[in-house]
Structure 1
Amino acid sequence: MEQEYIKLIFGLKLKQIRTDKNLSLFGLSKISGLSKSYLNEIEKGKKYPKPDKIAILSEKLDVPYDQMVSLKLDKNLAPIGELLQSKILKEIPLELFGIKESNLIDIVSNAPAKVNAFISTIIEIAQHYNFSRESFFLASVRSFQEANNNYFDDLEQQVLKFSKAYQVDLTSPFTSKDIEEILIEEYGYIINETELSTYEALENLRSVFVPKTKTLLLADGIDEAQRTFIYTKEIAYNFLGITDRLYTFPWIKFESFDQVLNNFYASYFAGALVIPKEALTLQLEAVFEKPSFDEALFIKTMNAFNASPESFYQRLTNILPKAFNIQNLFFLRFTHKLGTEKFHLKKELHLSHQHSPRANETNEHYCRRWVSLNVLRDISKSKKSHEFDIQMSNYVGDNARYLVLSSATKDPFREHQYRSISIGLLINKQLERKLKFLEDKNIKTEEVGVTCERCPIQNCEVRQAPALALERAAKNKKIEQIVEELNQKSVR
């Protein structure tokens, strides 16, 4: 058991016992003969008293010695103990969010009952939504991205430093062969393209890195863009000096929060290297200056880089807030299987504006008017490798309008599976100044909801379920009104 944890638990117990007996720190100091500052440090988990001091506290507070030193907490503090013992505060680098662990402990010790209720609520929500440890870590990284507008200048500078050191020309697309040469010559990698396919259980993996032999195993069927991303991510791990890392792509499980964060750093570096900021900014300016939306030019911009549509849209979330001051946006990735009416939201990111509601609604049906879902339907019925569409989405009830751009592609590793990537830009004065084509009448406009269960649109031709959530809310409001009327009448 860590000494720090033992000190924290003792401090929490001492403070609870003292407050239960209506004693101030000054009062406890008076009856025990121990200084107020010393007792304060004990309660904050900074010091652990010697046995003779514990004996004094035990006697003066009329609490058995064994109970004082026991690590078992009563029901009021048990969830806090579980949180501390889980080491979750150690696994998350709180300094990323400008938080000191000591500050959290102060909050816990000052209002243990309230914090206990809060923690219990979080645990209950997590269990209800099957919120795993990995999901918690990913949500933490997503919050970190949002807090920084998903732009990290230190990583952008590292990309420029790498390109100069290894003479990688960022003004024109490079191939995976260019990066492969650096991996082999500089970092001693061995590239193996046959071993991975011999393991049927690993069929969904694109790559596996074996650190002992510095061997990178690649899956059959990966295209040039995927290969380049895998290589540049490996470059990131090495060039940034990251050792606590994941060894598979996509990931299987995370051992620590650092691995989640480092995975994000490596992915960001890879995206910034393959899609350089200056080159993308110049091309986007050309798209935005057009009086009408030029789909061909936008697709040309997307294809100008050796990257997948997902990497391109992800990179937009870095560049638009920084280069164009477009900070209110969301990013969504959906998957869909042919022959089903199910659409699964696998990834989301929201910057500044809180696109509402923000999370997966259990067993609810996302709006079938979303362009994100329509491009999935289109590609599942066509033989195209890429479907693109653009839409003005008016969110009924939220008083919000988004310009949404969406691309769909086939999943090369799953039969009859498709995925769509979308970016939604909140339409406001700032966007109107930056995008000249917003008045283009050829861009279709749709009244949309979020899920059918919460959508107020009447007579929707693609509704998948009745608006049960709205009906419940309306019923409750009616009940409230009647009760209020009865109170006003003072019925006897």
Structure 2
Amino acid sequence: MDNDLIRMILGMKVRQLRQQRHLSLQDLSKKTGMSASYLNEIEKGKKYPKVEKIMALAESLGEQYDDLISLRLEEDLGNLTPVLNSPLIQKFPFKLFGISAQDLIQLMARVPREMGILARMLEDMGHNYDMRVEHFFHTALRSYQIIHQNFFADIEKKADLFRKQQGWERDRILTYDDLVPVLEESFGVSLDDSVLADHPVLNHMRSVLTADGRLLLHSSLSKPRRAFAAGRELGYHVLAAEERAFSSPALEVGTFDEVLNNFRASYFASALLLPRDRVHRDLKTFFKLSHWDPEAFVTMMESYKVTPETFFYRLSELVPHYFKTQRVHFLKFARRRGERRVQLAKQLNMSNVHIPHGIGLKEHFCRRWLSLYVIDELEMHPEKGMVVGVQRSQFIGYNSEFFCISIAYPGMLDKDDLYSVTLGFQVDASLRKTVKFLGDPRIQARELGQTCERCPLSYDRCEERTTEPVIHQRLQEEKEQLQALTDLREQTMVEA
């Protein structure tokens, strides 16, 4: 059991026994010879006293030593057992959100029965939806990113300092060939692309770090993807990340720190490959164009020698910070060639629009989404290699409009895997002032739903509909029933 939890259990027991015996902290201080402030820290789970002090506490409280240090909870505190044993409670990064273990234990001690019920409810939800602790970790990480508007000045500064230490100009575009010597000479990591592609089990992996310090890269990775993998490995070392993933994608997540450090190392890589001052200048120039120019956008992206995903995600970090456009969402969709169902593979939603996602989502995303349209376009015209699209999207039921840019591209390891990345900006006064071509009539405006199952548009209003609006219909029926119930009750009251 975690040391924090051991301290908290002892603290709860001391507090409960003291209150049962109607002793104040000052009373217990006189009995034990310990200061009231020290006893208060024990009760809050901040301190774990030495053996002789625990013996003094046990004697003063009329409790057996073994019972006091036991991790078993009884009577009123017994309801906390499922809470303290819950993997979610033990591993969730409460400190990241300004909640200490002591804050949590004080809440649990005040309402142990309610906290026990909450823990069982969370456990049941996890089982019902096949949710693992790592899913909670990723949800916590996204919340952490949203709190910080996905901009982390400390990592930006470390990337700037690292560039300076290597003698690289502040705005220089770095490549895989620039990063490899630094990895090898400064951190003892060698690169090897001769193993993964032929591995009988792990040939789907993009990279694996071996115990002897070799970074194995899949031989099919492009230079931009290799550069990002090398930049992320540099990030792990520069940021001194102890807990980390050793493969990409990660097969198993043990702690939240692994998830957080993977994000921070990836952020470092993007900050290294796309220096923020240069990106800021390029975006200002592009946004001043009088009309939407897809060729200019692609040229700007390709000048950084990174993948579309890396470029778009970097924009989700810098646009809210530099252009004061806070309502931004990043989406990555995946679909197999020849299949209709798409998967939301990655998302960061800093907007006020609900984007359906989650474990086991069986609904059909709206085919009017630009993200899906560009994938369909790429499948119909694979010779293009990449499809760029732009759209003004009005979500049904939300009083807001988004300017969206999407790029679809084929998978690197399997060409039948099709992907799209999308960046959406809420259209407001700030965006209208920043993006001069926002009113370009060639940018199509479309009304969209979330999923076909939730959309109120009928077949005659939406040719893209793929299935019946069963969820919308059910919600409408429930709404009508509630209204009918209200009317009936009011009518009965009038007659009476």
Asked if these proteins are the same fold (TM beyond 0.5), I'd say: yes
Q: Report what 1:21 is aligned to.
A: none
Q: Report what 1:161 is aligned to.
A: 161
Q: Report what 1:204 is aligned to.
A: 204
**Helix, strand or coil for the counterpart of 2:201?**
helix
1:124 deviation in Å? 2.6
1:289 deviation in Å? 0.7
1:174 deviation in Å? 2.8
Distance change (3 Å), C-alpha of 1:84 and 1:463? same
Residue 28 (structure 2) pairs with residue 29 (structure 1): no
TM-score (norm. length: structure 2): 0.87
Matches within 5 A, 1:301-380: 301-351=300-350, 353-357=351-355, 359-360=357-358, 362-380=361-379
Structure 1 stretches of 5 or more lacking a match? Answer: 19-23
What amino acid sits opposite 1:135 in the alignment? Answer: H
Q: Report what 2:486 is aligned to.
A: 484
Structure 2 stretches of 5 or more lacking a match? Answer: 31-35
Task: Report the more deviating stretch, 380-389 or 303-312.
Answer: 380-389
Matches within 5 A, 1:122-161: 122-161=122-161
**Helix, strand or coil for the counterpart of 1:208?**
strand
What amino acid sits opposite 1:482 in the alignment? Answer: A
Deviation track 1:357-402 (CA, whole Å, cap 9, x = no partner) reads 4533721111111010111111122222211101111111112211
1:77 deviation in Å? 5.9
Contact 1:187 1:238 in 2 (8 A): yes
Q: Report what 1:249 is aligned to.
A: 248
Distance change (3 Å), C-alpha of 1:409 and 1:117? same
What amino acid sits opposite 1:256 in the alignment? Answer: T
Q: Report what 1:417 is aligned to.
A: 417
Distance change (3 Å), C-alpha of 1:283 and 1:3? closer
**Helix, strand or coil for the counterpart of 1:388?**
strand
What amino acid sits opposite 1:469 in the alignment? Answer: I
Between the aligned partners of 2:352 and 2:133, the Cα distance in structure 1 is 24
Matches within 5 A, 1:402-413: 402-413=402-413
Q: Report what 1:177 is aligned to.
A: 177
Distance change (3 Å), C-alpha of 1:324 and 1:147? same
Residue 116 (structure 2) pairs with residue 116 (structure 1): yes
**Helix, strand or coil for the counterpart of 2:23?**
helix
Deviation track 1:289-348 (CA, whole Å, cap 9, x = no partner) reads 112212111111111111000000000011101111111111111100111111001111
Contact 1:287 1:293 in 2 (8 A): no
What amino acid sits opposite 1:355 in the alignment? Answer: V
Q: Report what 2:33 is aligned to.
A: none
1:441 deviation in Å? 0.7
The sequence identity of aligned pairs, in percent, is 30
Residue-pair matches, total: 479
Task: Report the more deviating stretch, 465-474 or 435-444.
Answer: 465-474
Between the aligned partners of 1:104 and 1:123, the Cα distance in structure 2 is 18
Deviation track 1:175-226 (CA, whole Å, cap 9, x = no partner) reads 21111122222223322221222312111111111132x2121212111101
Q: Report what 2:453 is aligned to.
A: 453
Distance change (3 Å), C-alpha of 1:163 and 1:66? closer
What amino acid sits opposite 2:22 in the alignment? Answer: L
Between the aligned partners of 1:394 and 1:402, the Cα distance in structure 2 is 7
Distance change (3 Å), C-alpha of 1:35 and 1:469? farther
Between the aligned partners of 1:394 and 1:400, the Cα distance in structure 2 is 6
Between the aligned partners of 2:66 and 2:175, the Cα distance in structure 1 is 68
Distance change (3 Å), C-alpha of 1:291 and 1:79? farther
Contact 1:302 1:309 in 2 (8 A): yes
1:102 deviation in Å? 1.0
Between the aligned partners of 1:336 and 1:428, the Cα distance in structure 2 is 32
Residue 233 (structure 2) pairs with residue 239 (structure 1): no
Contact 2:82 2:116 in 1 (8 A): no
Residue 466 (structure 2) pairs with residue 472 (structure 1): no
Contact 1:89 1:101 in 2 (8 A): no
**Helix, strand or coil for the counterpart of 1:28?**
coil
Contact 2:80 2:113 in 1 (8 A): no
TM-score (norm. length: structure 1): 0.88
Q: Report what 1:186 is aligned to.
A: 186
Between the aligned partners of 1:192 and 1:65, the Cα distance in structure 2 is 58
1:57 deviation in Å? 5.8
1:66 deviation in Å? 9.3
Distance change (3 Å), C-alpha of 1:355 and 1:27? same
1:239 deviation in Å? 2.3
Aligned CA-pair RMSD: 3.0
Q: 2:464 aligns with which of 462, 465, 490?
A: 462
Deviation track 1:84-141 (CA, whole Å, cap 9, x = no partner) reads 2356556455333222221111111122233333333332333232221221211111
Q: Report what 2:270 is aligned to.
A: 271
Deviation track 1:394-418 (CA, whole Å, cap 9, x = no partner) reads 1111122111111111112125111
Distance change (3 Å), C-alpha of 1:180 and 1:118? same
**Helix, strand or coil for the counterpart of 1:109?**
helix
What amino acid sits opposite 1:363 in the alignment? Answer: K
What amino acid sits opposite 1:137 in the alignment? Answer: F
Between the aligned partners of 2:105 and 2:29, the Cα distance in structure 1 is 21
What amino acid sits opposite 1:168 in the alignment? Answer: W
Distance change (3 Å), C-alpha of 1:181 and 1:51? closer
Contact 1:77 1:116 in 2 (8 A): no
Contact 2:77 2:109 in 1 (8 A): no
1:167 deviation in Å? 1.6
Matches within 5 A, 1:92-111: 92-111=92-111
Contact 1:203 1:413 in 2 (8 A): no
